[in-house]
Structure 1
C-alpha cells in the first residue's frame, strides 16, 4: 500500500512538472513572437481581471476599459494588436462601436467578442459587424488562451508578406507597422500613413497641399498645425537623422522633402517641432541650394512660379 501511494504521488508530481514545463515553454514561444498590446472593454471587473490575468500570463500587455468612448479614443491615439470586447454593454451600440474602431485602426486589428448569452443572432450580428471571433461566458482561462494565441497567429504577417525596405526602415503594410533596425516603432495611424508616403517619395519635394490631400484628403487650411505636429512626431519616433541614412528637410513656405544622407555628413537636426515658420540661416558648410517649380494650379492649387530657395539643414 505504501509503495502504491508513493508511486501515485510521484506520478502526480511528474504530471504537475509536465504541466508547468508546458506552460513555461508556451509562454516562451509567445514572448519570442513579441507580446501583443491588448485593449479589453467590459463593465464587469471580475471579467476584466480574468482576461487580463490570462493575457498577461502569456506575456502580453493589457489595458482595461469600462467605457466605449474611452476605448475608441485610446485606439485612435495608440497602437493595439488585439481588442477583447463585451458584446452587450449598457448604453453602447456594439455594431456602431466596431465600425468606429475599424475606421480608426483599419481591418487588420483582430477583435474578439465575449457575451453572456449563447444567442445565434448576437453571434451573427457581431461577426457581420466586423468581429473576428466570439466567446460565450463563463470564459475559462484555457479557452481564452487558445483564442488569443489563435488570433495572434492569424494576425502575424506570413513569411511571404510583402514588405517595403528603405535602408534600416522596414514597413509591414498588413500590420501597418514600421521597424527600425528590426525594432518595432510605435506609430499612430496617421503617423504611419505620413511616414510611408514620405519614404515612397524620398528625394521629392512635397508641398503642404500634397501632404494634406494624401493623408487627410481634406481642406488643408484647417489642418495646418496638425501636419506640423504629425511631421514632428514622425521625425522623432523614426529617429530621422544622418546616422540612419535619412533626414526630413523643411522648405519654408512650401513643404518638405525626405532626403537620403550619409552618416559621415556633418549635418544635424535642430531640436523642437518642424515648422515652415522657423527661420533659416545661411551657412556655406551645411547649405544646399534647390531650384523648384510649382506645378500648375489645377494640380497643386498654387500658381506657376519658379523660385530659387536656400535650404539650411541645420535649422530643420
Structure 2
C-alpha cells in the first residue's frame, strides 16, 4: 500500500488545526497536529513529515519564524518543505518568513482550497532531480544521488526551493528566464505565488552560491529580462 504523505500542523488554535487536519485527511494526507514548538519537535523526532504547516505566532517559547530557522539548520529537517501560516499580511513580514526558510506562506483568514493548492504545489516541487543524475555548469556541480551541490569542490547549503530553482537553471545554462517563466516552470501552476517570491529565492540562492567563494556571480540579473546562470564569470 502506498504511504500517504504526512503533514505536520503546528498551530495553537484547536479549531484551525482541526479544520486543516480534517481537510488534509479527506484529500489523502496523514495529518499530525502540534500546538507549540516543543510538541512539534517531539513529533519531528518520532517521524520526519513530508511537509510542515507552521503558524507564525505560537504560545511561549519560539515563534514559527524561529522554529523555521532552527529546522532549516538541522540535517534531519533541512529538506522538509515549510508552509508558513500567518496573520501578518505586510510584504516585509512575508519576506521575513521566506528568508527564515519557509517555502511559501498563506495569510489568515485563508480558504481551505487555497491551502490545499499551496500544499500540493510545494510537494510537487520537492524532488527536482532524478536519483543518480548529475548536472555540471562550470565549476558548479549538482548530484542527484547525494542531493548535494558543490562549487569548486566545496559543498554548499541550499534549501529545498533553492535546490529546485538551481536545478532548473543548470538544465538551461546561459538562458535568460523571466520571473513569470520561473513561476510557471519551477513553481508549477500554483497561481497564488507572487513574482516577488522569485526575487526572494534568487537572493537566497545567490547567497548560498556565494558562500562557496565566487559562485554567486554565476547567477546573473539581466536588467528588464530576468535571470541567467552562466559559467562565464
TM-score range, shorter chain: 0.5 to 0.7
Query: Could you say which residue in structure 1 is the equivalent of 2:132?
Result: 162
Query: Could you say which residue in structure 2 is the equivalent of 1:47?
Result: 16
Query: Could you say which residue in structure 2 is the equivalent of 1:277?
Result: none
The equivalent position to 2:47 in structure 1, one of 67, 74, 78, is 78
Where does 1:1-316 land on structure 2 (aligned, <5 Å)?
34-91=3-60, 92-102=62-72, 103=74, 105-156=76-127, 158=129, 160-162=130-132, 173-174=146-147
Aligned residues: 136
Q: Distance in 2 between matches of 1:95 and 1:77?
A: 22
Post-superposition Cα deviations, 1:128-162, rounded to whole Å, max 9, x if no partner, equal 1100000001121110111111011111354x332
Runs of 4+ in structure 1 over 3 Å off:
171-174
Q: TM-score, normalised by structure 1?
A: 0.39
Q: Which has the higher contact order (CA 8 A, sep 6+)?
A: 2
- Partners of 2:53 and 2:82 within 8 A in 1: yes
- Partners of 2:4 and 2:30 within 8 A in 1: yes
- Partners of 2:8 and 2:32 within 8 A in 1: yes
Displacement of 1:98: 1.4
Gaps of 5+ in 1: 1-30, 164-170, 175-316
Post-superposition Cα deviations, 1:251-299, rounded to whole Å, max 9, x if no partner, equal xxxxxxxxxxxxxxxxxxxxxxxxxxxxxxxxxxxxxxxxxxxxxxxxx
Q: TM-score, normalised by structure 2?
A: 0.52
Q: Distance in 2 between matches of 1:95 and 1:43?
A: 15
**How has the CA–CA distance of structure 1 residues 56 and 47 changed in structure 2, closer, same or farther, with 3 Å as cutoff?**
same
- Partners of 1:111 and 1:133 within 8 A in 2: yes
Residue 59 of structure 2 aligns to a residue in which SS? coil
Gaps of 5+ in 2: 134-143, 148-233
Q: Distance in 1 between matches of 2:38 and 2:19?
A: 22
- Partners of 2:36 and 2:58 within 8 A in 1: no
Q: Distance in 1 between matches of 2:146 and 2:59?
A: 36
Q: Greater Rg, structure 1 or structure 2?
A: 1
